[in-house]
Amino acid sequence: MGPGPVNADPRVLRAMSAGLVGQYDPAMTGYMNETMALYRGVFRTDNEATLLVDGTSRAGIEAAIVSLVAPGDRVLVPIFGRFGHLLAEIATRAGADVHTIETEWGTVFAPEQIEEAVARVQPKLLAVVHGDTSTTLAQPLDALGAIAARHGALFYTDVTASLGGNRFEADEWGVDAATAGLQKCLGGPSGSAPITLSDAAVARIAERSSVEAGIRVEDDLVLADPIRSNYFDLGQILEYWGPRRLNHHTEATSMLYAARECARLLVEEGMDAAVERHRIHGGAMVAGVAGLGLSIFGDQRYRMHNVVGVEIPGEVDGERVRSALLHDFAIEIGTSFGPLHGRIWRIGTMGVNARRDAVLATLAALEQVLRAEGAPVVAGGGVGAALDWYDGEGAE
């Protein structure tokens, strides 16, 4: 019940034990095409360029940034938590001219603040985290695509922490590139990064993508300033996933099976239903921790459905509580980074854990552990408040 990675859906685990097939076996290329189609449903997009990067969610972020940004390009990163710093760091290492604006952890930006910065910086890329797990908040994105477009920038967002548990509309919101991971609301293991790219993003990438030496044919251009990474050259990766099937890396077959099964689970359930399920059980967890007498961190208007920040009461040792939950109840909750370290726990309700029994069992265990640690708790207050929520605002 941490902020992710979380335990995977059993169907996803089972999918990974399927036998492997060859890289260009028609069955394998069929699975690749099917996975592309499924993730169009998950990202809510018609983008042809919807595929997987073979690595963890951070590999997807680096692939997007290093492929979209040439050295010297201006990039604007609004930072409202740890993962905004990560986007800025990756863009800096890619040689970009990185500009940032920051807001206090626990808050998000108004669209006007972002537009003012875009107008001032005139970036080629606006890069924003959707849900920043470090603070539990999600930056509203619906206005940002239009802002970027007005100023000639591409709009990239990482939705690893939010996708599947919170509304996301790649096409409707004018998103040019979005990256994700499996280990949060998608209910799978870390290690595969779904990505979607608009036609404008693909065109930007094509300017700097080049076919590698060793498999290049005569018509393929050799560029003086190619994308700085071979592994993350999305142009080459697109040629591998596209009809040319140009050899690049060897697709991570078992992780593709996992990613495909994660998407099938969500598409079968329906994206709206999945988001609503996360709203219901995330809301029950919030009601429950409040019912125990604990305070919730951050501007609640912008909280992700799938994770809540809980202020650690002054009289308890946060790490002892986490340790007791893990060892006595086999329940993991999260610690925090940076300015929130030692100040809040992060409790997740995502993927297969966005479930009534997982919420109630966590609240019951937390009550026992807090009492043993000498914190004042309302007896039965957590589970009771969650049950009230399920009967009221959280009724299905």
Interface with a copy of itself by CB under 8 A: which residues? 2, 4-8, 13-14, 16-23, 25, 54-59, 62, 66, 82-86, 88-90, 93-95, 134, 181, 183, 189-191, 212-215, 226-232, 247-255, 258, 326, 332, 337-338
User: Cis bond leading into 243, ω under 30°?
Assistant: no
d(CA 36, CA 24) in angstroms, rounded, equals 16
Q: Judge whether 283 and 347 are in contact, CB under 8 Å.
A: no
Residue placing its CB nearer to a copy of itself in the complex, 217 or 379: 217
d(CA 257, CA 13) in angstroms, rounded, equals 9
Min separation Cβ 187 and a copy of itself, Å: 10
Min separation Cβ 378 and a copy of itself, Å: 28
d(CA 382, CA 286) in angstroms, rounded, equals 9
Tokens of 330: 């086999």
Q: Which residues pair with 309 in a beta bridge?
A: 346
**What is the DSSP secondary structure assignment for residue 394, as one 8-state letter?**
T
**CA dihedral of 371, 372, 375, 377, whole degrees rounded to 10:** 0
Tokens of 28: 């394998």
Residue placing its CB nearer to a copy of itself in the complex, 94 or 266: 94
Min separation Cβ 369 and a copy of itself, Å: 17
Min separation Cβ 135 and a copy of itself, Å: 12
Residue placing its CB nearer to a copy of itself in the complex, 132 or 176: 132
Residue placing its CB nearer to a copy of itself in the complex, 95 or 111: 95
Min separation Cβ 175 and a copy of itself, Å: 22
Give whole-number Cα distances, 301 to 137, 296, 305, in Å.
9, 12, 11
Residue placing its CB nearer to a copy of itself in the complex, 101 or 227: 227
Residue placing its CB nearer to a copy of itself in the complex, 248 or 281: 248
Min separation Cβ 238 and a copy of itself, Å: 16
Place of tokens 């919101």: 173
What size, in residues, is the chain? 396
Q: How many CA atoms lie within 13 A of 12 on its CB side?
A: 27
Which residues are CB-neighbours of 302 under 8 A, at least 6 positions away?
107, 108, 137, 138, 139, 140
Q: Would the annotation count 346 as a binding residue?
A: yes
**CA dihedral of 270, 64, 74, 209, whole degrees rounded to 10:** -130
d(CA 365, CA 201) in angstroms, rounded, equals 47
Residue placing its CB nearer to a copy of itself in the complex, 7 or 368: 7
Residue placing its CB nearer to a copy of itself in the complex, 115 or 132: 132
Min separation Cβ 236 and a copy of itself, Å: 10
Min separation Cβ 19 and a copy of itself, Å: 6
Q: Judge whether 235 and 67 are in contact, CB under 8 Å.
A: yes
Angle formed at CA 94 by CA 255 and CA 131, multiple of 5 degrees: 55
Min separation Cβ 332 and a copy of itself, Å: 4
Residue placing its CB nearer to a copy of itself in the complex, 197 or 333: 333
Q: Judge whether 154 and 68 are in contact, CB under 8 Å.
A: yes
d(CA 264, CA 115) in angstroms, rounded, equals 37
Q: Which residues pair with 98 in a beta bridge?
A: 75
**Feature table: binding site:** 346
**Feature table: binding site for substrate:** 346
